[in-house]
Amino acid sequence: KILQDKERLQWFAAKYANAHDVFFVGRGIDYAISLEGSLKLKEISYIHSKAYAAGELKHGTISLIEPGTLVIGVLTQSDLYEKTISNMLECKSRGAYLMGLTTYGKYEIEDQVNFAVYVPKIDEHFVGSLAVIPLQLMGYYVSVANGLDVDKPRNLAKSVTVE
């Protein structure tokens, strides 16, 4: 189901392939998903990317938001949804472009973000396994749009050696 939407995600990734900074935000499990999305983006696209706990944005991080900055919010937990949206709207008020990742059925997000991506609704303890897929695709498509070889990322060790 997620892969059926890949062309839309590819279009969006191409639009932001030249971004200088991308911020991922989420709370609880969504913060962990944000960390993974940020890591994948920077590993293969070489774009500066950072994940933040959405509730910590007001502690200095918000000052880094400039007009056109891409902020990707992960909103898969119902009980934290409104708080995360509120933090994302703070970024939008400073000129950020918002992408929201949530579950099917939460279509009201389209009134608040510039681009929405959906994953199937499953138990919130397991939704992270699905939510990382569009974020990994985002990193992949940004890299492809920039003409990078995603199979040979620079400076990444393929094995860990310990002495």
pLDDT score of 158 = 58
Whole-angstrom Cα distance, residue 103 to residue 116?
A: 10
pLDDT confidence of residue 157: 64
Give buried/exposed letters for 101-130 (b at 16+ CB in 10 A, else e): bbbeebeebeebbebbbbbeeeebeebbeb
Question: Which domains does the chain possess?
Answer: 3-145 (3.40.50.10490)
Which SS3 state, helix, strand or coil, does residue 118 take?
A: strand
Distance between CA atoms of 111 and 7, rounded to whole angstroms? 22
pLDDT for 155 equals 74
Are the CB atoms for 22 and 48 separated by under 8 Å? yes
**This prediction's pTM:** 0.92
Q: What are phi and psi of 20, to 5 degrees?
A: -95, -35
pLDDT along the chain (163 residues), means of 10: 95 95 96 97 95 88 92 96 96 96 97 97 94 97 94 71 62
